[in-house]
Amino acid sequence: MLKAGEVVLEMHDNYQKQTYRNRTFIYGANGKLQLSVPVVYSQKERQQYRNINIHNTEKWQMLHWKSLESAYKTSPFFEFYEDELLPLFTEEAVNLLAFNLKCFETILDCLQLDLTTSETESFQKETTDKSDFRYLANSRKEPNFNFDNYTQVFGEKHGFIGNLSILDLLFNEGPNALSYLENQFKHL
């Protein structure tokens, strides 16, 4: 996204289970920890991603925030971003796509990254005039990007763990996170 002139957000695809649309991983005291947003979904009736609601009977937001605090409270930049991120875990989220868009905007603010974005008008199975990165949402086909290591809170205990939530990079690298990301793709 850093190299793109414009990022087009897919708004009309079908929801698929086992994707990064409702899950991410953080680095906890015991290693890689999955955080999942519970959703209301039926396999019998296909639903579009934009129509997926969050199952709020569980206190998932509070549990996620406590997990983030436990994992990153001692990181160099947790307190630096805490106030910007806290509303994502205290204001009730109803719709998964709306919540993810709010998370996306918050992360862009934290990174101080100004991106030009637009939304799709309809679903296109294949794109011809744009690079298609929708496959990255599929957690079953995890790409291997070979990012450079950076210091992580529990790195001495478990070593470097890659492909975690952007929050891991923010909490550990702070304002340097954007430069870190830019340096990963200098060859492109």
pLDDT in the model for residue 169? 97
pLDDT in the model for residue 90? 97
Q: Taking the domains of the chain in order of start, what are their residue ranges?
A: 7-184
One-character DSSP codes across the chain = -TT-S-EEEP-SPBP-SSBTTSEEEEEETTEEEEEE--EE--SSS--BGGGPEE-TTS-HHHHHHHHHHHHHTTSTTHHHHHHHHTHHHHS---BHHHHHHHHHHHHHHHHT----EEE-SS--SS-SSS---GGGGBTTS-----PPP---TTHHHH----S--HHHHHHHHGGGHHHHHHHHTTT-
pLDDT in the model for residue 3? 74
pLDDT in the model for residue 76? 97
Q: Going residue by residue through the chain (188 aa), what tens digit of pLDDT does each one get?
A: 777 778 888 788 888 888 888 999 999 999 999 999 999 977 777 888 899 999 999 899 999 999 999 999 999 999 999 999 999 999 999 999 999 999 999 999 999 999 888 787 877 777 777 766 655 666 666 666 678 999 999 999 999 999 899 999 999 999 999 999 988 876 54
pLDDT in the model for residue 15? 84
Beta carbons of 19 and 139 less than 8 angstroms apart: yes
